[in-house]
Amino acid sequence: MNSRLSRLTGRAFVSTLALAIALPGLARAEVTEEMIAAAKKEAMLTVIALPHDWCNYGEVIAGFKAKYPEITINELNPDAGTADELEAIRTNKDNTGPQAPDVVDLGLAFAPVAVKEGLLQPYKVASWDEIPDNIKDADGYWYGDYYGVMAFGVNKDLVQNTPSQWSDLTKPEYSGGVSLTGDPRASAQAILALMSAGISRGAKPGTESGTKGLELFAELNKSGNFVPVLGKAGTIAQGQTPIVAAWDYNLLAWRDSLNGNPPMDVIVPKDGVVAGVYVQAISAYAPHPNAAKLWMEYLYSDEGQIGWLKGYCHPARFNAMLKAGKFPQDLLDKLPPAEAYEKAIFPAIEELDANKSAVVEGWDKVVGANVK
């Protein structure tokens, strides 16, 4: 047996997946003909903030199109952050046109607030029981779709010594080299990068991690190490952002897309390893609610979950599908070693919310860089 697979199977990823719960019997996903007919009648699904190289969304979207060719997928602003997604719902409450999103993919910390504000509607997919209880709303307003850990992506043509921990980023040799993937006032990924940085400085998850993370980035900004440019595969390749803090699955996909030009390291830091869960939800004002439900069923089907795993994202049903032997061997072989995830912290919703508030409210005053 492959050594990595034996580690995964032997522990069923329990030591690395702090979200794991006792697994129920595998659910049988069933999509009714009535649902399909209603979705086809709507003939459109509007999504937002789904870059094709994020979690392999390009292939996932293509898979849905192939299965339901009668439904056109309207893709809004692929580079939007979580806050932008929710604002799109607010702005288009009374609009049934193409600017109103049907579904959203949110950072976990934003989901409970969205429910309280009445921006989401409940729906439970057929495979509901295989989604761990602590990453889903009991009433079905939102549920976890995938997770990853915060890591560093490094352009090896420009960076001789790959940083191995957050404190390394303050070194003079990384002048003009460190960036985030979004605006920390709006991007869940950037906000959790600061949480990771704060925890690396001994902070507890929550307000303290946000505060300490802001302090580190204030130092980086003052020294000139921080680059206020949105990091992505293209900016890494062009040398604008030689070091990017991002989810491991994004960085691994970017590394693959660059194909060695330039060579790119993906490093999970030795300290401050934060795991981030994203969640799916349907807009309370979705113009195409049946297409939205069909989309959700597809995402949480075996096909949809395997599609995310191809993009290095650990899908919500990972443990159940691993136990049932549903993942192709070659995909398991491509995953980073399980040891990289052993120190990962899965913050509680309250901790995520407190960290988010500290970062969003303190960024301008403490760091003062306009990321764009």
119-167 residue pLDDT tens: 999 999 999 999 999 899 999 999 999 999 999 999 999 999 999 999 9
For residue 202, pLDDT over 50 is answered with yes
Confidence class for position 20, pLDDT limits 50, 70, 90: very low
The predicted pLDDT at position 75 comes to 98
- β-bridge partners, 33: none
Contact call for residues 301 and 43 (beta carbons, < 8 A): no
Contact call for residues 135 and 17 (beta carbons, < 8 A): no
Rounded mean pLDDT, 226-231: 96
* C-alpha to C-alpha distance for 274 and 358, rounded to whole angstroms: 17
- State the pairing for strand pair 275-283/120-121: antiparallel
Contact call for residues 283 and 103 (beta carbons, < 8 A): yes
Confidence class for position 25, pLDDT limits 50, 70, 90: very low
Confidence class for position 327, pLDDT limits 50, 70, 90: very high
For residue 338, pLDDT over 70 is answered with yes
3-state secondary structure (DSSP) of residue 145: strand
CATH for 3-146+279-338 is: 3.40.190.10
* C-alpha to C-alpha distance for 324 and 333, rounded to whole angstroms: 17
3-state secondary structure (DSSP) of residue 224: coil
> Do the first three CATH levels of 3-146+279-338 and 148-275+346-367 match, i.e. the same topology?
yes
| Of 4-8, 143-147, 270-274, the least confident | 4-8
State the residue for tokens 């194909």.
259
Class level of CATH domain 148-275+346-367: alpha beta
- β-bridge partners, 155: 264
For residue 253, pLDDT over 50 is answered with yes
- What is the CA angle 79-310-151, rounded to 5? 60
The predicted pLDDT at position 87 comes to 97
The predicted pLDDT at position 12 comes to 33
Structure tokens at 322: 């691993």
Confidence class for position 109, pLDDT limits 50, 70, 90: confident
Report cis status (omega within 30 of 0) of the bond before 163: no
For residue 27, pLDDT over 50 is answered with no
- State the pairing for strand pair 243-247/178-179: parallel
Task: For the full predicted model, state whether its pTM sits above 0.95.
Answer: no
* C-alpha to C-alpha distance for 38 and 43, rounded to whole angstroms: 9
The predicted pLDDT at position 104 comes to 98
The full set of domain ranges for the chain reads 3-146+279-338, 148-275+346-367
For residue 183, pLDDT over 90 is answered with yes
| Of 139-143, 168-172, 278-282, 319-323, the least confident | 319-323
Position with higher pLDDT, 29 vs 167: 167
Report the mean per-residue pLDDT for the chain.
90
The predicted pLDDT at position 24 comes to 35
Rounded mean pLDDT, 245-253: 95
The Cα-based distances of 60 to 2, 13, 246, 317, 363 in angstroms read 27, 24, 21, 16, 35
DSSP H/E element including 293 = helix 289-299
The Cα-based distances of 15 to 7, 192, 303, 314 in angstroms read 10, 22, 26, 14
Residue 328 CB-density burial (10 A; 0-12 exposed, 13-18 middle, 19+ buried) = exposed
